[in-house]
């Protein structure tokens, strides 16, 4: 997934990522043009509260450990994670150089290692290094290689006993135009991962459906 720079005059993130049923992938231009493309603010939505609640319930990285946040954007949730797990070492990556520059500018003083990386090609640099990997709202953007990436996370990125947290929004069936031959439901995603989840929590199922799925790399 190579960053694409296009001339798109829009304040709607959809015009930069998936439009008219096709993947666009102009993440770099999106971050240059739109201050908060995902409307994430300080990452206080319920999905992020649920992630932290799961980490607390299973005591994941409670006393430290290594955390990798894949697709961190401008780092607002990563910064919340840093406060929640102050003893952990946290690396956060995103494909957009502009997003990473903004993350470093705003949160670089709170001991987070932000770096530019395309997760479709860059995961090979890690060698069973992490106790927790978070893949948040990334599935649609890596969809053709999602199964391969999930396999690599379990075999080459997570330590034995580590955890993978997937946080993903789903389209309503009548609204999805991209990728429905691969994934359109939570069950489809579970099937591609092919492992028994430790926990699944869903929110806003009949409106803006979101699922958080936790796996334990036993």
Q: Note the pLDDT tens digit of each residue in 187-206.
A: 999 999 999 999 999 988 77
What confidence tens digit (pLDDT) does each residue in 51-90 have?
999 999 999 999 999 999 999 999 999 999 999 999 999 9
For the whole model, what pTM was predicted? 0.93
Of the candidates 147, 117, 152, the one whose C-alpha atom is nearest the C-alpha of residue 133 is 152
Residue 140 contacts by C-beta under 8 Å, 6 or more apart in sequence?
17, 18, 23, 178, 179
pLDDT digits (tens, 9 = 90+) for 15-43: 999 999 999 999 999 999 999 999 899 99
Average pLDDT over residues 100-116: 95
Q: Which domains does the chain have, with CATH numbers?
A: 41-216 (3.40.50.150)
Is the CB of residue 72 less than 8 Å from the CB of residue 94? yes
pLDDT band at residue 5 using 50, 70 and 90 as cut-offs? very low
16: nearest Cα among 36, 37, 46: 37
Distance separating alpha carbons of residues 212 and 201, to the nearest angstrom: 5
pLDDT above 70 coverage of the chain, percent:
97
Whether the pLDDT of residue 155 is over 70: the answer is yes
Confidence of residue 7 (pLDDT cuts 50, 70, 90): low
C-beta pairs of 46-50 under 8 Å, 24+ apart in sequence: 46/203, 46/204, 47/167, 47/203, 47/210, 47/212, 48/77, 48/80, 50/201, 50/203, 50/212
What is the pLDDT at residue 64? 96
Percent of the chain with pLDDT over 90: 84
pLDDT at 173: 85
Beta bridge partners of 23: 18
pLDDT interval class at 3 (50, 70, 90)? very low
Q: How far is CA 88 from CA 102, 111, 123, 217, in A?
A: 22, 10, 20, 19
Cα 201 from chain centroid? 16
Check whether 2 has a pLDDT greater than 50: no
Show Cβ contacts of residue 178 under 8 Å, excluding neighbours closer than 6 positions. Answer: 18, 21, 22, 23, 140, 143
- Quote the mean pLDDT of the chain: 93
């Amino acid at each position: 997934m190579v960053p694409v720079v296009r001339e798109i005059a829009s304040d709607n993130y959809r015009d930069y990522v998936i439009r008219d049923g096709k993947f666009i992938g102009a993440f770099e231009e999106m971050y240059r043009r739109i201050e908060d493309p995902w409307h994430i603010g300080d990452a206080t939505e319920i999905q992020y509260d649920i992630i932290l609640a799961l980490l607390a319930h299973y005591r994941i990285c409670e006393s430290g450990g290594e955390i990798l946040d894949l697709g961190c954007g401008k780092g607002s949730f990563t910064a919340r994670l840093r406060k929640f797990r102050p003893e952990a070492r946290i690396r956060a990556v995103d494909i957009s150089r502009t997003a990473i520059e903004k993350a470093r500018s705003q949160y670089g003083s709170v001991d987070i290692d932000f770096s530019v990386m395309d997760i479709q090609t860059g995961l090979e640099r890690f060698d069973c290094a992490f106790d927790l990997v978070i893949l948040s709202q990334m599935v649609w953007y890596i969809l053709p290689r999602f199964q391969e990436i999930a396999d690599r996370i379990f075999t080459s990125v997570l330590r034995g006993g580590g955890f993978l947290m997937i946080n993903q929004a789903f389209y309503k069936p009548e609204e999805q135009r991209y990728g429905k031959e691969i994934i359109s439901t939570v069950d489809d995603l579970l099937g591609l991962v092919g492992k028994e989840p430790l926990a699944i929590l869903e929110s806003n199922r009949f409106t803006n459906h979101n699922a958080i799925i936790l796996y334990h790399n036993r």
